[in-house]
């Protein structure tokens, strides 16, 4: 079960007579304005425990400090965060009640109420969700649970980081309220019948207060005393923010206001909203207050795809992903065979900043019969597609599911098959229809497709079709393996690639000499992580081997009679080669003359099995010391440097400068392979060589 739905093992809060007077509204409207009471004025007798002051966890203090002093302009996101928490709490009680009816207020309407008070400069947000007891208030609102967030905040000074950055890293959640609040009071009553209500009070300073409260209804009520420059007590402003950020929340969000004239009600009742919603509205005019539903609650995934406008998808995504940019692509699928699926999936346009962080909660929202079963389900798509966001609703999933039963359910397997196939197909279609958009996808998420190739053998062909490469001939474009294969000469039998730590290094690689000279195309594998996976999992394409051009035994197409036979050249270089072996000794596997070098004097080639190389590389990536396969140093007999060295060696076999030059030839080759353990150590030798070269 996910974190949110797990029944936590919570101790009861310290008992005591409730004494605070944060009143509940009349039945049916659990949120009615009571003005802020000055603290502690309602302490009744000596039996009740006094208010307790508690210190925030250090990281929370830091976060609050940053939020309070930020110049961040989009302060209205606080409302989105509080509504999203309320909606989570409602989902949780809804889920709880599938199996447990023994909860406080079992019949309460599941909804969210916003109640501004312009005169008092305050806003109240209430929900009839799962609620919190005293200890939950302490844990949830006094600490930060995400280890990643804690690590991030640890040590940042105020001013060193911005709200934008924090949002990018882990979101701000509840604490965002302190961007707009002078004081916040959270009064909550847990759904567990034995629990009493508590109020949590904070002005965003270093401590908060807890007092027993008198709240009869289940749920949470947040009273915000707004900072003077914040206009969030204006109804129109709230309505506008809800439309923009929370329109698709699946529970009604009511705006509670003092009841206006009769005609006002008729006007709202006359709106196009569904009959049910209208009934609710008229019902809820009592005790001088009215409530108007201000969100549309549309379950967009349950609508027919051709009735939904592009902008609705975009808006739905922005609300789902709490403020991300418009998505690159949406996939709307409604089907009932072989299994009932109603889904809207999104490919975001940007890789989330935290996608590789351990604390990230990814996965699709899973509904069954409109009830949220899981907020982050990871069984509905293969792991490598975890950048896909969206909602899946299926009537074929049993309602009383636990995490394990979802995983093992045959319907889940069928859904995930369908979704994975569909996502890959839509990406392929995107590539055909809008190459530029696909390039953007590839730039952000290509590494996931490469990772998929290492794990998803079933969809291997689709994944291969989605791969894109830069090559010695691609310029700024991305090419497919298909394109590569189409334009290679008839006598070429393998697909060549060069590996390097980045694109610039790839372009400079000495291994390209021969291929550039013979107009053969070589793919760049320049992502040290993703391409390491790729070289392990992509061994061939259309029965052609993928070959790393640094392999000692690489086969190149016949290019009749354009070089001196390697054997001859090798013989001519024999003396120098021996001298190289003497100097380099055990550091190299071998030294030999090469016919594949043109521009460069030397290179290091790999003589081992390609699998052990892959293993070596992965170990290095994971920071482990792997035994390194020794390389073969190859020399270019036609290069001026090599010819000069040969002449020197023949003139004086013991020439000390020759030793230094050989060492430097080797070091240069190491540098080009990104294998040099200590480049700075070369300076002394380079200096000696420069002194020798500069002698007049
Ligand atoms: P997140 O929502 O990502 O967990 P938040 O900072 O927004 O982080 O909220 C912290 C926690 O406080 C929530 O996980 C939840 O347990 C609790 N919480 C916040 N608001 C409510 C609410 N209205 N009802 C019940 N619990 C809440
Ligand atoms: Mg939240």
* Whole-angstrom distance, CA of residue 358 vs CA of residue 215: 38
Average confidence (pLDDT) over 154-183: 83
pLDDT band at 568 (very low <50, low <70, confident <90, very high): low
Work out the angle at residue 44's Cα, subtended by the Cα atoms of residues 38 and 45, and round it to the nearest 5 degrees: 140
Distance between Cα 83 and ligand 2 center (Å): 8
Residue of 7, 79, 85, 110 best suited for mutating to test ligand 1, as the one with most atoms within 8 Å of CB: 85
User: Which residues, judged by CB distance below 6 Å to any ligand atom, belong to the binding site of ligand 1?
Assistant: 81, 85-86, 88-89, 127, 129-130, 132, 140-141, 173-174, 220
Closest ligand 1 atom to residue 172 Cα is 6
Q: Whose CA is nearest to atom 27 of ligand 1?
A: 85
pLDDT band at 569 (very low <50, low <70, confident <90, very high): low
Q: Whose CA is nearest to atom 4 of ligand 1?
A: 173
- DSSP codes joined into one string, 308-353: S-HHHHHHHHHHHTTSPPPPSEEEEEEE-SSS-EEEEEEE-SS--T
Which residue, 322, 416, 319, is CA-closest to 366?
Answer: 416
Least confident of 37-51, 312-326, 481-495, 642-656: 37-51
Q: Whose CA is nearest to atom 7 of ligand 1?
A: 173
pLDDT at 35: 37
Q: Which two tokens stand for residue 489?
A: 């000469």
Which residue, 468, 464, 413, is CA-closest to 440?
Answer: 468
Pairing of strands 122-127, 602-606: unpaired
User: pLDDT higher for 123 or 569?
Assistant: 123
Q: Whose CA is nearest to atom 3 of ligand 1?
A: 173
Distance, CA of 606 to chain centre? 36
Residue 11 has pLDDT above 70, yes or no: no
Q: Whose CA is nearest to atom 8 of ligand 1?
A: 173
Distance between Cα 343 and ligand 2 center (Å): 23
Q: Under a CB-based contact definition with an 8 Å cutoff, are residues 170 and 151 in contact?
A: no
Question: Token pair 């009600």 is at which residue?
Answer: 265
Q: Which of 254-268, 294-308, 617-631 has the highest mean pLDDT?
A: 294-308
Q: Which two tokens stand for residue 597?
A: 């070098």
Q: Which two tokens stand for residue 147?
A: 């280890």
Distance between Cα 84 and ligand 2 center (Å): 6
Closest ligand 1 atom to residue 81 Cα is 7
Contact partners, residue 224, CB within 8 Å, separation at least 6: 122, 123, 124, 125, 177, 180, 181, 183, 184, 232
Work out the angle at residue 102's Cα, subtended by the Cα atoms of residues 97 and 107, and round it to the nearest 5 degrees: 65
What does the pLDDT look like over 270-300, one tens digit per residue? 444 444 444 444 446 667 889 999 999 989 9
pLDDT at 371: 80
3-state secondary structure of 346: strand
pLDDT band at 152 (very low <50, low <70, confident <90, very high): confident
Distance between Cα 30 and ligand 1 center (Å): 19
Closest ligand 1 atom to residue 130 Cα is 25
User: pLDDT higher for 396 or 515?
Assistant: 515
Which residue, 105, 299, 78, is CA-closest to 191?
Answer: 105
Residue of 140, 144, 153, 360 best suited for mutating to test ligand 1, as the one with most atoms within 8 Å of CB: 140
Residue 235 has pLDDT above 50, yes or no: yes
3-state secondary structure of 151: helix
Contact partners, residue 242, CB within 8 Å, separation at least 6: 79, 83, 114, 253, 294, 295
What does the pLDDT look like over 423-470, one tens digit per residue? 999 999 999 999 999 999 999 999 999 999 999 999 999 999 999 999
Q: Which two tokens stand for residue 335?
A: 């089907």
Q: Under a CB-based contact definition with an 8 Å cutoff, are residues 246 and 319 in contact?
A: yes
Rg of the chain, C-alpha, whole Å? 34
Least confident of 323-337, 529-543, 549-563: 549-563
Distance between Cα 172 and ligand 2 center (Å): 8
Q: Which ligand is nearest to the CA of 187?
A: 1
Phi-psi region of 534 (alpha: psi -120 to 50; beta: other; left: phi over 0): alpha
- DSSP codes joined into one string, 592-634: EE-SS-SS-SEEEEE-S-HHHHHHHHHHHHTT---PPPPEEEE
Q: Under a CB-based contact definition with an 8 Å cutoff, are residues 131 and 250 in contact?
A: no
Distance between Cα 171 and ligand 2 center (Å): 8
Distance between Cα 144 and ligand 2 center (Å): 12
Q: Under a CB-based contact definition with an 8 Å cutoff, are residues 196 and 14 in contact?
A: no
Which residue, 85, 77, 243, is CA-closest to 167?
Answer: 77
> In sequence order, what are the beta bridge partners of 240?
none
Q: Under a CB-based contact definition with an 8 Å cutoff, are residues 368 and 91 in contact?
A: no
Q: Which ligand is nearest to the CA of 141?
A: 1
């Amino acid at each position: 079960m996910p974190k949110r739905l797990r029944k936590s093992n919570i101790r009861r809060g310290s008992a005591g007579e409730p004494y605070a007077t944060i009143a509940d509204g009349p039945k049916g409207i659990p949120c009615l304005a009571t003005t802020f009471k000055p603290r502690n004025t309602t302490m009744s007798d000596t039996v009740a425990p006094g208010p307790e002051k508690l210190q925030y966890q250090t990281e929370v203090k830091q976060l609050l400090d940053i939020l309070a002093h930020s110049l961040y302009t989009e302060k209205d996101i606080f409302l989105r965060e509080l509504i999203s928490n309320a909606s989570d709490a409602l989902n949780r009680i809804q889920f709880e009640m599938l199996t447990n009816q023994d909860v406080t207020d079992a019949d309460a309407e599941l909804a969210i109420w916003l109640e501004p008070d312009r005169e008092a400069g305050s806003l109240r947000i209430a929900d009839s969700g799962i609620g919190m007891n005293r200890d939950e208030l302490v844990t949830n609102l006094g600490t930060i649970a995400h280890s990643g967030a804690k690590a991030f905040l640890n040590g940042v000074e105020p001013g060193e980081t911005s709200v934008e950055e924090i949002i990018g890293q882990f979101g701000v959640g509840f604490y965002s309220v302190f961007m707009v609040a002078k004081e916040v009071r959270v009064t909550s009553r847990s759904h567990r019948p034995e629990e009493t209500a508590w109020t949590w009070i904070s002005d965003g300073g270093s401590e908060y207060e807890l007092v027993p409260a008198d709240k009869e209804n289940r749920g949470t009520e947040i009273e915000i005393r707004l900072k003077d420059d914040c206009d969030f007590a204006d109804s129109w402003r709230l309505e506008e923010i809800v439309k923009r950020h929370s329109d698709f929340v699946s529970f009604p969000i009511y705006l509670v206001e003092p009841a206006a004239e009769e005609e006002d009600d008729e006007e709202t009742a006359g709106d196009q909203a569904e009959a049910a919603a209208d009934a609710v509205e008229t019902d809820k005019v009592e005790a001088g207050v009215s409530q108007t539903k201000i969100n549309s609650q549309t379950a967009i995934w349950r609508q027919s795809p051709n009735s939904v406008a592009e902008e609705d998808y975009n808006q739905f995504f922005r609300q789902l992903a709490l403020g991300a940019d418009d998505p690159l692509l949406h996939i709307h699928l409604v089907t009932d065979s072989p299994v009932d699926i109603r889904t809207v999936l999104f490919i975001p346009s940007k890789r989330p900043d935290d996608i590789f962080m351990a604390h990230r909660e990814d996965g699709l929202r899973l509904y069954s019969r409109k009830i949220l079963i899981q907020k982050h389900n990871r069984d509905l798509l293969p792991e490598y597609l975890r950048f896909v966001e969206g909602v899946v609703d299926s009537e074929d999933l049993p309602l009383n599911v636990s995490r394990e039963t979802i995983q093992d359910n045959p319907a889940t397997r069928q859904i995930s098959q369908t979704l994975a196939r569909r996502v890959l197909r839509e990406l392929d279609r995107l590539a055909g229809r809008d190459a530029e958009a696909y390039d953007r996808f590839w730039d952000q998420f290509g590494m996931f497709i490469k990772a998929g190739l290492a794990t998803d053998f079933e969809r291997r062909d689709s994944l291969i079709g989605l791969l894109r490469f830069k090559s010695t001939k691609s310029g700024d474009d991305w090419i497919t393996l298909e394109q590569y294969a189409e334009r290679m000469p008839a006598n070429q039998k393998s697909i060549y690639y060069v590996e390097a730590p980045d694109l610039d290094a790839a372009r400079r690689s000495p291994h390209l000499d021969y291929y550039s000279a013979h107009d053969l195309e070589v793919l760049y594998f320049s992502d040290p992580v993703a391409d390491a996976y790729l070289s392990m999992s992509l061994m061939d394409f259309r029965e052609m081997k993928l070959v790393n051009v640094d392999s000692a035994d690489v086969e190149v197409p016949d290019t009749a009679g354009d070089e001196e036979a390697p054997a001859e050249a090798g013989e001519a270089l024999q003396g120098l080669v021996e001298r190289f072996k003497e100097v380099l000794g055990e550091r190299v596997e071998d030294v030999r003359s090469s016919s594949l070098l043109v521009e460069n004097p030397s290179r290091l080639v790999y003589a081992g099995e390609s699998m052990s190389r892959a293993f070596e590389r992965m170990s290095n990536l994971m920071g482990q010391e792997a035994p390194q396969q020794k390389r073969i140093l190859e020399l270019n007999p036609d290069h001026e440097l090599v010819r000069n060295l040969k002449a020197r060696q023949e003139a004086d076999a013991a020439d000390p400068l020759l030793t230094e030059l050989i060492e430097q030839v080797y070091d240069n080759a190491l540098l080009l392979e990104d294998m040099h353990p200590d480049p700075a150590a070369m300076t002394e030798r380079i200096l000696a060589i420069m002194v020798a070269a500069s002698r007049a």
